[in-house]
Structure 1
């Protein structure tokens, strides 16, 4: 895989690669290491996924979805639980397998590409999921558009259902554009309490930035009244 032309970027995206296939791992690592928007911070075997990600704190992890031992979906669920700020891109042998894609989405995967994907597609997937979007490779997108939409809506509904009454009140105010100080005044709460609740809300709905939280909240009907 030949590196793409440099593009204008801000902070480099920290990327980890977890793959059982030594040849694939070496090829992907070499290709992405030449990308000017990416910092390859860690590479390892499938069984090292959780400690490797927790030690290197990547923005995105490329995960071999055909690894042995613990099932790939279970490995992804563990990462989603213990490293919630890291987005997962699955690299799958069969990109047109509906059951595999469904299990990937349910396991918290945000990107899904074929092993045969070129470097441009890998970078597109990494950049998309790092921004909070979903990315599905061309081979799966043609078949799974409806499935992806349904699974994402279900996941977002579950995340919002997990919010406490207080967290829903805070998300409503975040969606209306209130900052933490204003939320504290409206709800008569300490600044630290608001900060803690805002962090909890962001974690539960799967965002890291306030702008992302506003978009997610308004899509769910918050802040519109």
Structure 2
């Protein structure tokens, strides 16, 4: 297996070396460069063409948000896909989350996350799967669900179609949707439900398709609106498999 290549960006050398060490301990990951500011991050991303950029948000000069926007907007290699950007920060303030996602970041993780969680997030974003810290997911849900219902759910016809689609989901698919709404990654959902990660990924994609949604955050918001977060946690686990596939 060819390792996923990672560019580490942070203005503190100690943090860069710590992140390099975390990446280097995984056989399927490899650091191909480090950058100490946003300008260097853009230059190295263009030159090295990594699979994933671990991007700090708060840096002097060009911020991580601006660097992310420039990398993804001005990617100069039409024959090579642009890297996925996983934003790392000490802060989970809404302004950073929203700005990073608007700039095109695929994931947002706090720097105090466990090394295994960071490694899983790198793999997830490399595969195009959004990776959001649970606290970030909760904040996004809270922010969006505070909007007027008309802005949240769209036209009545779309809303009705999604309600019918929710009713058509199997028990197992509802359990997967519930765990997505709680900010669980595919790997964590697989552990919770005694499934393979590939099976979970397939079911998440099927759920998004059935509900006419683009991503996991939209799915989490819909689950919140539908009251699924009120389901008892003891309905989520290996024994629940008998209720639906």
> Which residue does the alignment assign to 2:132?
136
> Which residue does the alignment assign to 1:21?
12
Distance 1:70 1:89, change over 3 A: same
Q: Offset of 1:68 from its aligned partner?
A: 1.1
Consecutive unaligned residues of structure 1, counting only runs of 5 or more, are 1-9, 150-213
* Counterpart mapping for 1:88-167 below 5 A: 88-95=85-92, 97-145=93-141
> Which residue does the alignment assign to 1:87?
84
Consecutive unaligned residues of structure 2, counting only runs of 5 or more, are 76-80, 146-204, 215-245
- Moved beyond 3 Å, runs of 4+: 145-149, 214-221
* Counterpart mapping for 1:136-215 below 5 A: 136-145=132-141
Which of 23-32 and 81-90 deviates more? Answer: 81-90
Aligned to 2:129, what secondary structure does the other structure show?
A: coil
Q: Is residue 94–residue 114 contact of structure 1 (8 Å, CA) maintained in 2?
A: yes
Q: Offset of 1:138 from its aligned partner?
A: 2.5
Separation in structure 2 between the aligned mates of residue 45 and residue 217 of structure 1, nearest angstrom: 40
Q: Offset of 1:22 from its aligned partner?
A: 1.1
**TM-score normalised according to structure 1 size:** 0.59
**For 1:174-224, what per-residue CA distance to the aligned partner results, in whole angstroms no more than 9, with x for missing partners?**
xxxxxxxxxxxxxxxxxxxxxxxxxxxxxxxxxxxxxxxx99999579xxx
Q: Offset of 1:147 from its aligned partner?
A: 5.6
